[in-house]
Amino acid sequence: MEITLSIIKADVGGYVGHSDVHPELRRKAVEQLEKAKKNGLIIDFSQGEVGDDIALIMTHQKGVENEEIHKFAWDTFTAMTEVAKEFGQYGAGQDLLVDAFSGNLKGMGPGFAEMTFNERPSEPVIIFLADKTEPGAWNMPLFRMFADPFNTIGLVIDPSMHDGFRFEVHDLIDEKKIIFNCPEEMYDMLVFIGSPSRFVIKHVFRKSSDEPVAVTSTQRLFLMAGRYIGKDDPVMAVRCQSGLPAVGEVVEPFAFPHAVAGWMRGSHHGPLMPVALEDDTPTRFDGPPRVVGRGFQLKDGKLIGPRDMLGDKSFDNARQLALDAADYLRRHGPFEPHRLPLDEMEYTTMPSVMKKLKDRFLPA
């Protein structure tokens, strides 16, 4: 059975500040999703969230970038925005960047990750949702799942994985894409994906098929006032087992809370902390950035789950390391490398400060 898995997310209002979502917004999302299931638009759904972002996790048979599905998501976020306004939620409607929906969600604000595939007799999928970071945050974990034998022993000892995988990498600034074959072109690929603010892994494929096995949300970056904006709390879906990384190999990268861009005002590096579903509330300095994992078994398009994949005790050390790294980085205050370089910050006062001091800068 050919299934499309669509994860569409937006921040349409935070509770309190940018730390969580109010139960009334969740209720509205579920109400709309139930209607869509009843009228046959979607097969099944699960409502996900992390921090101030809500994700509509849906299965259907309409393919990716489908107008009806995207319009449904847009209308749902619009309805949730009304609730957010009613309850005075912070930044109500903040991710709905245009006035009206047209065609599909590209460039409209909400993020989406979608893939169409033939559902296997047993189809384990993990959906990762992150807050206070950018899509490139998935580069290192995806590389480690599908290309690093120190993470994924299946690449070495499972005959069906030994040939490696293909990675589709997007250049968010030039809006181009390229496919890398790994392991053969691994070092070439790392030149690019090591710069996650610009180059982002969009899909992973088996060598033998064009059917995706992993997908991320990527957002185009917008050049405004000389700097790129559009960091956006990303989502990712990864299929697991039998010829793909095992569930344990898919979650293993999150045992290292690598440094990502985002955190306070989208302008700081911080550790990506794996957390349990109930701990998805970035708080200290609006963070640290965090990731949750929702595991499902798909059956005829039904989402059997979620199981909390990163709440397990085995991630406790990663959480502790993340908290220690957060302490270490915070002590840098307004200095790099905690604060992002000038051209990557979401907020900056540089142009106005420069203007004010222009006459006081003398030749040196």
Report the nearest approach of ligand F6R to the CB of residue 235 (Å). Answer: 15
Tell me the C-alpha distance between 283 and 294, whole Å. 21
Residue 253, φ and ψ in degrees, nearest 5: -60, -25
Does residue 346 bind Mg ion (CB under 5 A)?
Answer: no
Nearer to ligand F6R, 17 or 63 (CB): 17
Does residue 131 bind Mg ion (CB under 5 A)?
Answer: yes
Catalytic center residues: 11, 228, 231
Q: Which of 20, 44, 49, 53 binds Mg ion (CB under 5 A)?
A: 53
Nearer to ligand F6R, 280 or 286 (CB): 286
- Could you say which of ligand F6R, Mg ion, none residue 53 binds, taking C-beta under 5 to 8 angstroms by partner kind? Mg ion
Binding residues for ligand F6R, how many (CB under 6 A)? Answer: 9
Sign of CA dihedral 237, 239, 245, 247: positive
- List, as one string, the DSSP characters of 265-306: GG-EEEE-EE--GGG----BTTB--EEEEEEEEEETTEEEEE
- Taking CB under 5 A as the binding criterion, the range among 17-25, 62-70, 97-105, 206-214 that sits at the site for Mg ion is 17-25
Peptide bond into 16 cis (omega under 30): yes
- Could you say which of ligand F6R, Mg ion, none residue 17 binds, taking C-beta under 5 to 8 angstroms by partner kind? ligand F6R
Does residue 49 bind Mg ion (CB under 5 A)?
Answer: no
Does residue 14 bind Mg ion (CB under 5 A)?
Answer: yes
Tell me the C-alpha distance between 291 and 277, whole Å. 9
Does residue 288 bind ligand F6R (CB under 6 A)?
Answer: no
Tokens of residue 232, six digits: 């956006």
Does residue 265 bind ligand F6R (CB under 6 A)?
Answer: yes
Rule CB under 6 A: which of 175-214 touch ligand F6R?
none
Query: CA Rg, the chain, in Å?
Result: 20
Does residue 339 bind ligand F6R (CB under 6 A)?
Answer: no
Residue 67, φ and ψ in degrees, nearest 5: -60, -45
**x/- track of binding to Mg ion for residues 83-122 (CB under 5 A):** --------x-------------------------------
Does residue 17 bind ligand F6R (CB under 6 A)?
Answer: yes
- Taking CB under 5 A as the binding criterion, the range among 46-54, 219-227, 239-247, 261-269 that sits at the site for Mg ion is 46-54
Q: Which of 110, 266, 293, 305 binds ligand F6R (CB under 6 A)?
A: 266
Tell me the C-alpha distance between 25 and 87, whole Å. 9
Name the residue type at position 314.
S
Name the residue type at position 155.
L
Find out whether 199 and 193 touch, Cβ atoms under 8 Å: yes
Q: Which of 20, 44, 49, 52 binds Mg ion (CB under 5 A)?
A: 52
Helix (H) / strand (E) element for 246: namely none
Name the residue type at position 83.
V
**x/- track of binding to Mg ion for residues 136-175 (CB under 5 A):** ----------------------------------------
H-only helix segments in the chain: 23-38, 67-86, 139-147, 154-157, 186-193, 247-251, 316-330, 350-357
Name the residue among 313, 321, 314, 325 with its Cα closest to residue 285.
Answer: 325
- Could you say which of ligand F6R, Mg ion, none residue 134 binds, taking C-beta under 5 to 8 angstroms by partner kind? none
Does residue 269 bind ligand F6R (CB under 6 A)?
Answer: no
Rule CB under 6 A: which of 296-335 touch ligand F6R?
none
Find out whether 22 and 69 touch, Cβ atoms under 8 Å: no
Footprint of ligand F6R on this chain (CB under 6 A)?
17-18, 91, 132, 262, 264-266, 286
Footprint of Mg ion on this chain (CB under 5 A)?
11, 14, 18, 51-53, 91, 131, 233
